[in-house]
Amino acid sequence: MRTFLIAGNWKMNAGPAEAKQLATDIVNNWKGKTFSSEALLCPPFVSITTLAECFSETAFKTGAQNVHTEDNGAFTGEISTSMLKDAGCEYVIIGHSERREYFHEDDELVARKTKKVIDDGLKAILCVGEKLEQRKSGDHENVVKTQVNAVLDHLGKDVSDKLVIAYEPVWAIGTGETATPGQAQQMHQYIRGLIAEKWGAKSGDSVRILYGGSMKPGNAKELLSQKDVDGGLIGGASLEAGSYSEILEIADSI
Ligand code: PEP
């Protein structure tokens, strides 16, 4: 049985003061209670240390939304893996569709970033997913296959314990539109097959595959109940302490 990972992506929301309030509210929601999932929140870079401090005596974990491939040097505006570890991160989201779209991150760069994260002892949440026209034309599996294999080929060796994949159909992110549980299950199973092809059935079975795209308390149960859905990458709903906590509760009830 895989442990659910319930990960929040705060995107460019919640500077230190707001992040402290939100994190405190989440922690307070769980005072005297426990959860069995892994709970992770990924704030903007400037709020990482604040979150790590708020979570220090709790089971909540802190992650980042991006990282650079170099250790340090003349890369104005960038952040390295060692800095993220120093700040208290355990996970890094890589290749989110917003980074692919607005910051022109291609499969090659996403692959290099994923390798860097894993080589340096962090865990990577690799985001993949098709655009609406690619789903409509029936190309969604091919698109996801290319995105996944670009990274697996670059990683070479089996690191399935340090890699999480988030299937996020681009048409479902921030739109209120959600993949049906059946669409999510079908793609998750397909991705598991791609991992099994490269690293064997055991790794295919054990790697965690999250669903992302307008997950909220109202649809979380159906999505998380799918056999190959091992958690969620949650944007909007993770910015409300109540909604995020509710999704954690739902995961526990499955
Ligand atoms: C995301 O940011 O990865 C995401 C899935 O956002 P939302 O839940 O708001 O669709």
Distance 158 CA to ligand 1 centre (A): 28
Per-residue model confidence (pLDDT) at position 175: 86
Mean pLDDT of 171-193: 93
Atom of ligand 1 nearest to the CA of 214: 10
User: In this predicted structure, what is the pLDDT of residue 235?
Assistant: 97
- Report the pLDDT averaged over residues 156-179: 92
pLDDT of residue 224: 97
Mean pLDDT score of the chain, rounded to an integer?
Answer: 96
Query: What are the residues whose beta carbons fall under 8 Å from the beta carbon of 249, sequence distance 6 or more?
Result: 35
Distance CA 158, CA 219 (A): 33
CA-CA-CA-CA dihedral for 50, 54, 59, 61, to nearest 10: -10
Domain edges within the chain: 15-29+41-253
Structure confidence at residue 156 as a pLDDT band (50, 70, 90) = confident
Phi-psi region of 153 (alpha: psi -120 to 50; beta: other; left: phi over 0): alpha
CA atoms in the 13 A half-sphere facing the CB of 236: 12
Given its phi and psi angles, is residue 249 left (phi above 0), alpha (psi -120 to 50 degrees) or beta?
alpha
Burial of 49 (0-12, 13-18, 19+ CB in 10 A): middle
Q: Record the pTM.
A: 0.97
96 is catalytic: yes
Q: What is the pLDDT of residue 245?
A: 98
Question: Over 90: is that where the pLDDT of 174 sits?
Answer: no
pLDDT of amino acid 200 = 96
Q: Please state the atom number of ligand 1 nearest to the C-alpha of residue 172.
A: 10
Selected catalytic residue, list 96, 130, 140, 188 = 96
Of all atoms in ligand 1, which is nearest to the CA of residue 236? 9
The pLDDT value given to residue 178: 86
pLDDT in tens, 6-63: 999 999 999 999 999 999 999 999 999 999 999 999 999 999 999 999 999 999 999 9
Residue range 169-185: mean pLDDT, rounded: 91
Q: For residue 177, what pLDDT is reported?
A: 82
Q: What's the whole-number mean pLDDT along residues 107-129?
A: 98
The residue contributing the CA closest to ligand 1 atom 7 is 235
Tokens of 169: 């159909």
Residues in the chain: 254
Cα 9 to middle of ligand 1, angstroms: 7
The pLDDT value recorded for residue 1 is 62
Calculate the CA 21 to chain-centre distance: 22
Torsion sign across C-alpha atoms 149, 130, 190, 42: positive
- Check if 68 is active-site: no
**Residue range 70-93: average pLDDT?**
98
Residue 131 Cα, ligand 1 centroid: separation in angstroms? 14
CATH of the domain spanning 15-29+41-253, picked from 3.40.50.1820, 3.30.9.10, 1.10.3470.10, 3.20.20.70: 3.20.20.70
The pLDDT confidence band at residue 176, using thresholds 50, 70 and 90, is confident
Whole-angstrom CA distances from 164 to 7, 100, 177, 227 are 11, 18, 23, 16
